[in-house]
Amino acid sequence: EAGVTQSPTHLIKTRGQQATLRCSPISGHTSVYWYQQALGLGLQFLLWYDEGEERNRGNFPPRFSGRQFPNYSSELNVNALELEDSALYLCASSVGVYSNQPQHFGDGTRLSIL
């Protein structure tokens, strides 16, 4: 069974640009989550999508946004990039949140802002 896949592995941008990160969940999983792990900080919840709808978002500005497609894959968009957006962005998927099922993570996209 293929795990959660994320692309690209690395992304280098400059301040003010926009970044798009992509995630394909495990087959059969309908929920996709995005987390940020900045240097020296723990994993911080960004966004949760389920069945194409945004269900919850963390304490991040509106320039962090995303969407989930009919095939349950997801994009995370970060507009007007700032230096502090440099981080590892992790995507996770689960079968849903209406029963206790673990979230399974991809290997992340390393976003570097110059």
Partner 1 sequence: DQQVKQNSPSLRVQEGRISILNCDYTNSMFDYFLWYKKYPAEGPTFLISISSIKDKNEDGRFTVFLNKSAKHLSLHIVPSQPGDSAVYFCAASPRYAGGTSYGKLTFGQGTILTVHP
Length of the chain: 114
Task: Write each residue from 55 to 74 as x if it is in contact with partner 1 (CB under 8 A), else as -, in one continuous string.
Answer: xx-x----------------
Q: Which of 28, 42, 62, 70 binds partner 1 (CB under 8 A)?
A: 42
Could you say which residues in the range 75-114 bind partner 1, by CB under 8 A?
Answer: 90, 92, 97, 100, 102-108
Say whether residue 43 binds partner 1 (CB under 8 A): yes
Which value, to the nearest 10 degrees, does the dihedral of the CA atoms of residues 18, 69, 91, 105 take? -160
Q: Three-state secondary structure along 61-95?
A: CCCEEEEECCCCCEEEEECCCCHHHCEEEEEEEEC
Calpha distance 38→55 (Å, rounded): 23
Closer to partner 1 by Cβ: residue 16 or 52: 52
Interface positions with partner 1 (CB under 8 A):
4, 31, 33, 35, 42-43, 45, 48, 50, 55-56, 58, 90, 92, 97, 100, 102-108
